[in-house]
Amino acid sequence: MKKYNVGLVGVGAVGAEMIKVLRERQFPCGKVQVFASRERDEVIDGETYHVLKADEGSFAGFDIVLFAGKTDVALQLKDAVVKAGAKMIDNSRAFRQDPDVPLVVPQVNAEDLDWNKGVIANPNCTTAIMLEAVAPLHKAKGLKRLIASTYQAASGAGAPGLAELEAQIREYAEGRPLTVSAFQHQLTYNLIPHIDKFDQTNWYTLEELKMRNEARKMLHLPDLRLSCTCVRVPIARAHSESLNLEFENPITPDEAREILSKAEGVRVVDDPLNNVYPMPLDATGKYDVLAGRIRSDISRDDGKGLEMFVSGDQLLRGAALNAVEIAEHLVKRGLV
């Protein structure tokens, strides 16, 4: 089997997950080299890597370069990766709305990889989790409108967010004042309906607008009516979303369960009488998006509305796993 030299730029939580997923899925790696802002040794998933400083001359000889760092780093190094002949798979927001860059979840729109020009973008984690469950239903019934409310884990704000939640739990138990710096307010025993900056023209947050704009691009529905409210909640890992869906054609809950039971990347978890439904605790560390609480929208009388609840690990399903699956599909489609 042909081996592919893989670079990784960024050694935070998502970068570490990418290394782990490459191993777990036995991606045919030749050389694996980690890059960051400075040279050092770093233990990732139990193995010590000699991390090199990333610069414009770093990428000769690589086939695929995964980016798990900041937006400005991706923008700075993009041309160097493409010039070196490698495929750049970027997890930042740098290129998601670039019309020359495919924005891909392979289970949703793998065909868009065929027109890549050297760069492929990973969507926002909330968008990826949502579309894993929504896209199969759209393909069967034609999505017309979507209303989402998200419940996003502290680790979605990176290592500082998770560390702050853990520190606040300890401080609260010890009766000490709570440290507040990573979030706008105390997160422990609270939730915060504010993720990213507000767009002062419409008062949606950028996180909420990302979900609309990215879903439109990936589903090839430029006029899709989509609105959402994104909320930070005091859990460690895995995002959840409450979805209200309107379709062009009638759909029953049983039809939805049947469609989702056959969808790659989705696991139906829907037995409410036995207290079985998606929860972030059960989604943590899992590849699949969990989908449940599937029911007809009782505010409608045309049979075209559906309600469901989904949970997915934002570091895996929403980021690292998706990037590695893009690499797998590039290989499968002979694009690298």
Active site residues: 125, 239
How far apart (Å, rounded) are the C-alpha atoms in residues 328 and 336? 10
Residues in the chain: 336
Pairing between β-strand 4-9 and β-strand 64-67 as defined by DSSP bridges: parallel
Contacts 24+ apart (CB under 8 A), 34-41: 34/7, 34/8, 35/7, 35/8, 35/9, 35/10, 36/9, 36/10, 36/11, 36/69, 37/73
How far apart (Å, rounded) are the C-alpha atoms in residues 163 and 236? 9
Pairing between β-strand 289-296 and β-strand 266-268 as defined by DSSP bridges: parallel
Q: What are 70's two structure tokens?
A: 């900041």
DSSP string covering 80-128, please? HHHHTTPEEEE-SSTTTT-TTS-B--HHHHGGGGGG-SSEEEPPPHHHH
DSSP string covering 201-245, please? TT--BHHHHHHHHHHHHHHT-TT-EEEEEEEE-S-SS-EEEEEEE
CA–CA distance from 108 to each of 28, 130, 168, 299 (Å)? Answer: 24, 11, 38, 29
Identity (one letter) of the amino acid at 326?
I
How far apart (Å, rounded) are the C-alpha atoms in residues 308 and 22? 31
How far apart (Å, rounded) are the C-alpha atoms in residues 189 and 211? 27
